[in-house]
A and B are shown apart, each in its own frame.
Chain A
Amino acid sequence: GAVVSQHPSWVICKSGTSVKIECRSLDFQATTMFWYRQFPKQSLMLMATSNEGSKATYEQGVEKDKFLINHASLTLSTLTVTSAHPEDSSFYICSARDRRSGNTIYFGEGSWLTVV
């Protein structure tokens, strides 16, 4: 079946540094990918919709200069958390839509970010 790979799975960084998380669709092309943030025992909150070849669409309250999204190809979207702070520590997860299978959404494994 379709697979979405997310990397890294775990990352620890110092405050003030930037961290890049990659989301790849391994066996299908994804013109649209989604980035979510999930706090422990809470639901997934949509951060932005990543569109291949164009700017991402950010949800209200999400700082686009803080969370940079690049969807450079049909199989790769990246989320860069810039000037990370401890409150950015969270589980970040991406998903991609496979149009071949009726727009089924597949999720990546998620990335745990800890900012110290």
Chain B
Amino acid sequence: GQQVMQIPQYQHVQEGEDFTTYCNSSTTLSNIQWYKQRPGGHPVFLIQLVKSGEVKKQKRLTFQFGEAKKNSSLHITATQTTDVGTYFCATSNTGNQFYFGTGTSLTVIP
């Protein structure tokens, strides 16, 4: 399967601070999806990016797809305790299998 690396693996922030996780691939990606998994829960779809340089926003979350379509980022402005969880990027190949990145576990300290 496709190798998609995510950094950092863990991130602890004070409530109100910003948070960013990065997803990197050595190959060009046709698309990138982002998911959030709360502790003990299942992944929940957040967004999909398909265009080079695409930027999408969902309230305090900003998603970006790199110009070369080899990397992506998720940025959260002014984190809240409800943002706690693991954020995964995922990508699909021509066979439509989805492969997940290694994930970034976010802890928000009140």
Q: A43, B42: Cβ atoms under 8 Å?
A: no
Assembled-state Cα–Cα distance A31/B96 (Å): 12
B88: chain A residues within 8 A (beta carbon): 43-44
Contact B100 A105 (CB under 8 A): no
List of A residues within 8 angstroms of B98 by Cβ:
34, 46, 95, 105
- A107 in contact with B44 given A32-B96, A57-B95 (CB within 8 Å): yes
Interface string of B1-16 (1 = CB under 8 A from A): 1000000000000000
Instruction: Kindly list chain B residues whose C-beta atoms are within 8 Å of the C-beta of A49.
Output: 95-97
List chain A residues, Cβ under 8 A from B101: 43
Residue pairs across A and B with CB atoms within 8 Å: the count is: 51
Taking A59-B1, A105-B33 as contacts, is the C-beta distance between A44 and B96 under 8 angstroms? Answer: no
Give A34-68 as 1s and 0s: 1 = Cβ < 8 Å from B's Cβ atoms.
10100001111110010000000101100000000
Is A109 interfacial (CB-CB < 8 Å)? yes
Q: How far is the CB of A68 from chain B (nearest CB, A)?
A: 19
Asked if residues B1 and A46 are in contact (CB atoms below 8 Å), the reply is yes
The answer, yes or no, to whether B99 is at the interface (CB within 8 Å) is yes
Q: Let me know if B102 is at the binding interface, CB within 8 A.
A: yes
| B95 adjacent to A107 (CB under 8 Å) | no
A109 touches B42 (CB 8 A): yes
What is the bound-complex CA distance between A31 and B12, given in angstroms? 40
A102 contact set on B, CB distance < 8 A? 48
Q: A41-B105, A59-B1, A105-B33 are in contact. Are A46 and B45 (CB under 8 A)?
A: no
B103 in the interface (beta carbon within 8 A): yes
Q: Show 14 residue pairs from A and B whose CB-CB distance is below 8 angstroms, ordered by the A residue.
A: A43-B88, A43-B101, A44-B43, A44-B88, A46-B100, A49-B95, A93-B42, A95-B43, A97-B96, A102-B48, A103-B96, A104-B45, A107-B45, A109-B42
Q: Which 3 A-B pairs have the closest CB atoms?
A: A107-B42, A44-B100, A43-B103
Q: Kindly list 18 other residue pairs between chains A and B, CB separation below 8 angstroms, not including A57-B97, A105-B33.
A: A34-B97, A34-B98, A36-B100, A43-B88, A46-B97, A46-B98, A46-B99, A49-B95, A57-B95, A59-B1, A93-B42, A93-B43, A97-B96, A104-B45, A106-B45, A107-B45, A109-B42, A110-B42
